Structure 1
Amino acid sequence: MTLFVSLILPLLAIWLWWPVNPLSKRQRRWRMGVSIGLALLGLSFATLWRMDVFSYSVEAWIQLVFGWVLVMFVLLLAFLLLREAGWLLSRLLPRRSGLAALWHGTGFNHGAATVIVLLATLGIYNGLKPPQVHERDLVVPHLPKEMDGLRVAVLADLHISPVKRTWRTQRIVDATLAAKPDMIVLPGDMADGGLEDSGRFAEPLALLKAPYGVWLAPGNHEYYYDYSAWMAHFRQMGLGVLENQSALLTINGRKLVVSGIGDLAALKPTSYMHGGLAPDMQAVVDGGRGGDVHVLLAHQPKQARAAAATGAIDLQISGHTHGGHMLGFDRWVVAPFNHGYVRGEYRVREMALFVSSGVGQWDGFTARLGVPSSIDVLVLRSPAESTEQRRSVLP
């Protein structure tokens, strides 16, 4: 898929300059050459990455450069579609026919190319900088009054790698602990690369502590890099690894079940996968019997429909989408591939679904524009308590 996308990039580079006037043949060839060269740079980095001849410590940086080029061409495609739509519209308005020359003018294209490079670079910076804490109330069906106000910190999609060094992981851990959560959950994609390449950058996660535990479920990226080794490493760090498993917690005399389910990636195995287990919803439902409220950690929000259909899950917490990365891209590209779930709160039948924008993202597409990374602190609210609060403010 990555190589297929890369092969389209030279065509976009040609499209950028082909209709632009006034340009001499030499000027047009020079501009096309520069743009095609940038496209081929992305293709060459994608090829180096797919050759799999480097250690992941090098490969992660190759992915980052490829991602930077790819973001530029995603923005370029959006610009080209806008430019041609504007050009066609101006052609339909004879009295304003001069606008057609503006849309295909050199100044307009030079300005757009400059903005695209700057936006792509800003997007990479936004993707790599540490996230802020964002707190929000979330009403959870069947949550007992005794658990109202429970604070759950969500650290989705850390994607720890040689690009995202130890200092970044430490900043995330420090900010999370400062928020004083009652429980911390990590719904998948904790790290990229093998344990030997990225393990040392994940060490600060061992410092995560909360009164009701730190729990994680696997994501698709764990399946790509020695799944068993990573899960064992997380357990050694004192994290509660839930692989189609459940934990029963007693909170103020009531029972909360937190479960973790295998990722959907296991249902479509590829040559890049190295271990992992398929999701087992029935095992999760069975493990939650006896609880007053059931919270499911499922990396991909697409699992929400199956979870809600059981009638046994009250809240699903997911990641995977990275919030959609960029405004526009989130709704038109990311949402259709995830049943419409991109970020924030949803209701699926009687179940609450929360999709985190994530604290990180894969190095191969790490840009964020208008969709910041986030350490989410969910303050769980009981429906009964919420009803009482609403009544108290009525005149």
Structure 2
Amino acid sequence: MVVVFVLALLLLLGGVHWYVWKRVVRDTAPPGARGRRIRRTGAAALTVLPLLSVTAFLSGRLGFPFWLQQTLAWPGYLWLALLLYLTLALLATEAARPFLLRSHRRPRTPASAPADAPVPDATKVPTPITPAAPETPKAPKAPEAPAPPTPPTRRLFVSRTLAATAAVAATGTVAYGTHSVLQGPRTTHVTVPLPHLPRRAHGFRIAVVSDIHLGPILGRAHTERIVDAVNAAQPDLIAIVGDMVDGTVEDLGPAAEPLRRLRAKHGQFFVTGNHEYYAGAAPWLAHIRELGLHPLENDRVEIAGFDLAGVNDVGGEAFGQGPDFTKALGDRDRSRASVLLAHQPVQIHEAVRHGVGLQLSGHTHGGQLWPGNLIAALANPTVAGLEKYGDTQLYVSRGAGAWGPPVRVGARSDITVVRLASLQA
């Protein structure tokens, strides 16, 4: 199945690049030798760019030096975002193309004389004989002016106009989405009524941070923006719900260092996401403790007025470190309020079975790149926001960073301050 999936993905990627080459390069190139050179150059570029993207994705696993990973990441990842929106924009122009081409009218050419038109009889008209004029020296010919350039055909003009429109729209979209990520996450607030929460804990605030994705592009400055935003909110507790890193402690330890400045009265907690296991979860868990965060590995602690539990991500199952809800929640007093930290929203069904009041998750990025939210909805019960499943509420953060392309469109990054409300208040 993996081989079939990879082959299908490669075919799709190849087909998309061919379509972009056809519309942006082949259809807009002029005829003749110059056009052939443009088509060859475009074909070379649309061969190199996807190879660069694939290499950027695999560079960490292939053990490339971190400086080389950083060098490959920007062009490789940004091309994927640009390819997405360039393809969507070109597909949108297809509706206008037939209309624009139909509006063309062929220029009318002068009609030739009819074949049966009478021809004057030269024999009936005497031709006067004039004496031959003396020959005069011929004036030198003036140099011929260069012929004006041939205007492009209607089809070529339409193709160039639509390709330029699509390119401008795609570039503007990616530029906006990149600026959104580099600007840092915004802080949002949501109030969640929590069953069994005592009156004294009413208004308890949890800062939920997910999917920071430190890596070759998002580094120390990104972490500092997040830490400053979280500390400015002055939460009672901080919960980082997975996918903090995309790389090793050796490469990204300095980027994670600002997390040491996180401050909350009741502590800073962490649960693993699937990307921690790709990078090596054990070294990161050790380093996270050094930074002052408390990992909840299928564990539970008592906070003022409720139980705070955390389970490992399902990605840890391949390493014998998967989620264990029984260990984290099995022996707890269900008359107490409970909050569960679990990276993936799909873990909500186990949370419901164990009587959890609220699950805090991330993982989806809210889709990150529209229309990615439609795809994310196929694999996750909730893509973003607050929903209820049975007696359990699920809140899914859009995440504070970005994976792959440092671009977000239609899913602004966020840090969420969840305010717990007591039903007794």
TM-score range, shorter chain: 0.7 to 0.9
Return the structure number with greater helix share.
1
Corresponding residue to 1:279 among 323, 330, 334: 323
Rounded Cα–Cα distance in structure 2 between residues aligned with 1:140 and 1:146: 13
CA RMSD of aligned residues (A): 3.0
| CA deviation map 1:37-81 (0-9, x unaligned) | 145323234136526141234324423322200011111232233
Of the three residues 138, 152, 169, the one matched with 2:192 is 138
Kept after mapping to 2: 8 A contact 1:17/1:28: no
Distance 2:245 2:331 in 1: 27
SS in 2 for 1:212: coil
Alignment CA distance shift 1:75-1:217 (3 Å): same
Match of 1:306 in 2: 350
Confirm whether residue 65 of structure 1 aligns to residue 75 of structure 2.
yes
Moved more, 6-15 or 96-105: 96-105
Cα distance between partner residues in 2 of 1:61 and 1:323: 28
Q: Residue 30 in 1 paired to residue 38 in 2?
A: yes
Determine the C-alpha separation between the residues in 2 that align with 1:247 and 1:291. 15
Mark the CA change 1:24 to 1:178 in structure 2 (over 3 Å): closer, same or farther. same
* Count of equivalent residues: 366
Q: How is 1:1-395 mapped onto 2 (pairs within 5 angstroms)? A: 1=6, 4=10, 6-17=13-24, 20=27, 24=31, 27=35, 30=38, 33-34=41-42, 37-38=45-46, 40-47=48-55, 49-50=57-58, 52-85=62-95, 97-98=102-103, 105-249=159-303, 251=304, 254=305, 256-267=306-317, 269=318, 275=319, 277-286=321-330, 288-289=332-333, 292-308=336-352, 310-330=353-373, 332-339=374-381, 341-362=382-403, 364-385=404-425
Deviation at 1:376, TM superposition (A): 1.1
Q: Which amino acid counterpart does residue 412 of structure 2 have in structure 1?
A: P
Deviation, structure 1 residue 127: 2.0
Q: Is the 8 A contact 1:21 1:106 kept in 2?
A: yes
Once residues 65 and 21 of structure 1 are traced to their aligned partners in structure 2, the CA distance between those partners, rounded to angstroms, is 24
Distance 1:32 1:301 in 2: 47
Write the deviation string for residues 229-248 of structure 1: whole angstroms up to 9, x where unpaired. Answer: 10011112221101111111
Structure 1 runs not aligned, ≥5 long = 270-274, 386-395
DSSP-derived class of the 1:258 partner: strand
The answer (yes or no) to whether the contact 1:10–1:36 under 8 Å persists in 2 is no
CA drift at 1:121 = 3.0
TM-score by length of 1: 0.82
Code of the aligned partner of 1:335: A
Q: 1:243 & 1:373 partners in 2: Cα distance? A: 26
Q: Mark the runs of 5 or more structure 2 residues left unpaired by the alignment.
A: 1-5, 105-153
Contact 2:243–2:363 at 8 Å: present in 1 too? yes
- Aligned residue identity for 1:354: Y
Report the equivalent of 1:392.
Answer: none
> Identical aligned pairs, as a percentage?
31
Question: What secondary structure sits across from 2:94 in the alignment?
Answer: helix
**TM-score, with structure 2 as normaliser:** 0.77
Cα distance in 2, alignment partners of residues 156 and 287 from structure 1: 28
Give the whole-Å Cα distance in 2 for the aligned partners of 1:22 and 1:60.
34
Instruction: Give the Å deviation of 1:361.
Output: 1.9
Which shifted more, 70-79 or 129-138?
129-138
Q: Is the 8 A contact 1:159 1:361 kept in 2?
A: yes
Q: Deviations over 1:177-212 (max 9, x none)?
A: 111101100000111211000011111112212111
The question of whether the paired residues in 1 share the 8 Å contact of 2:398 and 2:414 is answered with yes
Which is further off, 5-14 or 280-289?
5-14
- Counterpart residue identity of residue 49, structure 2: L
**Partners of 1:31 and 1:287 in 2: CA distance:** 68
| Higher-Rg member (1/2) | 2
1:325-378 CA-to-partner distances (Å, cap 9, x unmatched) read 134332x22221223x2111111222111111111122x232112321111111
Contact 1:156 1:186 in 2 (8 A): yes
Counterpart secondary structure, 1:376: strand
Deviation at residue 105 of structure 1 after TM alignment: 3.4
Q: Residue 337 and residue 81 in structure 1: after superposition, are their counterparts in 2 closer, same or farther (change >3 A)?
A: farther
